[in-house]
A and B are shown apart, each in its own frame.
Chain A
C-alpha cells in the first residue's frame, strides 16, 4: 500500500510537516518494503484549493492512504470521495509514523 505523508524537506526520514495541501513535498512510502520516494507537491503555491490539488495529485500517483496533521473540509471530502484512507498523524519522523500505522497505533479518521 502506498502511503503519503506531507514533509518540508527531502532528507532521510524527515518529520511530518504540520500542513497538508501547502507542504513542499510528499514522502510516498510503499509499506510492503518501506521504500520511500519524494514527490514535489504541485499545489504548494496554488492560489486557492491547494488541498484539492494535492489530493488529485496523490490519487493520480496511486496513493491509497495518507497520514496527515490536520485537514481542511475540502481536502477531507476529496480524500473520502477518492477512497483514500486518512490517518491522524503527529509530528514524528515518517519511519515512526509508518511503524505506528503497521501496529495499528494511528487513528483512522
Chain B
C-alpha cells in the first residue's frame, strides 16, 4: 500500500493518577493510519484501546493525562513534548492549543463515533436539529443549506424519509438507526479520519451487519480512513486492512489483517484467536487464556503477558520486548518479493535475539487463574 500516512502515533503514554496509584492505561503505543484504510485496534477490556483513541482527540479527562509521546496528524502536532534541562517533559511550542484542536481537528478532520449513541445524542433536541447544528459548527454552511446537507446525510446513511424523521427525537429511533445518525453527523463534516469506538457492540447481529455494510460503502465513496476499536475478531477480519492487538496498555502485535490471522506471531494473539467460539465450525474444546488481565497499576515486569503466556520463559520476566519485524514473507516462499510488506511487527522476544531460547521455561503455576493482586475491578 502506497497511500500516504495521515496519522502517526509514536510512543504514546496516557496515565491516570488515581488514589490507588498510577494506572498506566496506555504505555508506549505506536501505530499509524494511512489514507483510505481501516485500522483496527483490538483487545480485551482494560487493554487501553479507548484511552489510546481518545488521546488522539485529546479528550482525556482528569485524572488522566497524556504524559509522553508524539501524535501527528498530517503536519499538525496534536501531542508533542520536549525534554527540559532538568529532565522533565513539557509540551512543545508546535502543539495545538485546545482551541485549535476544537477548530481545526475535532469533527472536521477527525470525528469519533462511540458505542452508545444515546450518550452522544441529546435527548431533548430533535435528531435533525443536532445533525444540522453539528454541520454548522464544523462546516461553512448555515440555515437552509445546513439543513439540506443534514437531510442528505441522513438519507445517505439509510434513514428512510429523512424529511419526515428530521424532527423526531433520539428515543424515537431504534439503536441501529441512532448509530446511523451518528455516522451521518460524523460524515457530514467530511472528516479525513473517523474513530469508531465499538460502534456496533450494543447492536444485534443483523443490525450490526447493516451498519458494517454501510460503513464499507461510505468508505469506498468518500475515501475516509477509520480507526476501528473492537473486541470482536469477526469484525476485525471483515473490515480491517491493518490491525493493532493491544494487551495491558501496549501493542503486542501489528500488521496486515491476513498476517494477524494466518501468520500469527505473538502468543497473546494466538491465544486470543484460540479462545473465541466459531460461528462457522464446531469446536469441541476451547483453549482459554489462563488467569485474568493483571492491573495496569503494577503491570508485570518486562513482557506484560508473561504471567499468562504458555510460552513464557525466565527471560520474558527480565527483558523488555521491543518491536521486531516479522512479516517479510507474505507468500511464505522464504523470499521477500516486491510488493510484500514488512508491516508485520510483534513485541515478543521469541523473535528477537536476546536469549529467549537459552532461557528456562517459567514453571507451570498450575491454574494461574487464581490471582487477586489488583484484580478488584
- Asked if A pairs with B, the answer is no
B interface residues with partner A (beta carbon < 8 Å): none
A interface residues with partner B (beta carbon < 8 Å): none
